[in-house]
A and B are shown apart, each in its own frame.
Chain A
Amino acid sequence: MKRKGLTILCLMLVVVWLSGCATTETPKKVPYRLSPQGTVIWEDEFEFMPPPPDWKLLRVEAGENDINFGFMRSDPGGFPSVTTFAYDEDPFGCTAASFEGREREFFKRFLFNAILRFQILERKKAKVVGGEGLAVTVEGKDPVKKEKVRAKVVFGRRGERIVGFYITQWRPMDGSYDLSAFDVFDKFVASFKFLKKSFYETL
């Protein structure tokens, strides 16, 4: 009888112990860590200088496997005053091997949800992740919604593929741009490093 009671007690303890486990929260895994130098190591794959703390991390849904992450800042002023910049493993476009060709493909679809008339403000060669690249600054205007956007797109190479960085700064049509955000973006791009070969290079 004593033995039976002990068995029941043991079973109860197991149940309590298991239910305790069920309520224990597992720590949320973040995809980055900080290096002693103050840089961010992202998934042990990329290293870059983070923007100032008023920029929020933006994790874009990994649509069709591209690695997308970036940063966002709400700006003073009326809607849609916001600035966003990101790294994109597979920017729009697919056939062109040259940066100029990819630029043409890219701008067919860039911000395609907004009906914008783009004007190229500047196009120049750039040093990107230790290699050659192309930086294109544009301004797009939507006369119907009375909104505008200033954007800079930087193309570089990772192995055989073209990768991209871009910043968009939206404003109401009568708003003024804050170009200091573009300096933050330029520092982000300049600090960016690949820590290992891409998935595609390992195939």
Chain B
Amino acid sequence: MEGHQRNLYLYDRFNARVLGVSRDDVTTLKYWANGLGITFPLLSNITAFLGASFDIQPEGQPIFGRRTVIIDKYGVIRYVRDGSPDFKDILLFLKKLNQEGGKP
């Protein structure tokens, strides 16, 4: 998340916005965001329906798997990667998407 925060000025340049989604409750996320200095929105999804929608809800576990998803302005999922975010890859993809006019 710190990495996304550091890159906010670049996401802005590429007309991209970032959202974090977690199963933690709002109070926990607020505390956590304040501690790290995160300013972009974090969504609390304790019922886990978003995780199920994006197929990142491991069965029987109270947390989501880590997945980065980029959705373009038409609502089309254009990029999906699992694990720790590859920030350089994400930035290059957003740059390309912005150049082709498919602003995310």
- Closest CB in chain A relative to B101 CB, distance in Å: 18
Contact flags (1/0) for A55-88 with B, using CB distance below 8 Å?
0000000011100000000000000000000000
Chain B 60-104 interface residues, beta-carbon cutoff 8 Å to A: 84-88, 91-92, 95
Q: How many residues of A contact B (CB 8 A)?
A: 16
- Closest CB in chain B relative to A158 CB, distance in Å: 12
Contact flags (1/0) for B9-20 with A, using CB distance below 8 Å?
110010000000
Asked whether, in the complex, the Cβ of A90 is within 8 Å of the Cβ of B84, the reply is no
Q: Which of B22-30, B34-42, B47-55 contacts A (4 or more CB under 8 A)?
A: B34-42
- Closest CB in chain B relative to A171 CB, distance in Å: 30
Tell which of B37, B88, B92 touches A96, judged by Cβ atoms closer than 8 Å: B37
B2 on interface, CB distance cutoff 8 Å = yes
Asked whether, in the complex, the Cβ of A64 is within 8 Å of the Cβ of B9, the reply is no
Asked whether, in the complex, the Cβ of B6 is within 8 Å of the Cβ of A65, the reply is no
Asked whether, in the complex, the Cβ of A161 is within 8 Å of the Cβ of B37, the reply is no
Asked whether, in the complex, the Cβ of A65 is within 8 Å of the Cβ of B37, the reply is no
Asked whether, in the complex, the Cβ of B10 is within 8 Å of the Cβ of A64, the reply is no
Not counting A65-B3, A65-B86, a sample of 12 additional A-B residue pairs whose C-beta atoms are within 8 angstroms of each other reads A63-B84, A64-B84, A90-B3, A92-B2, A94-B5, A94-B6, A94-B36, A95-B5, A95-B39, A161-B6, A200-B91, A203-B92
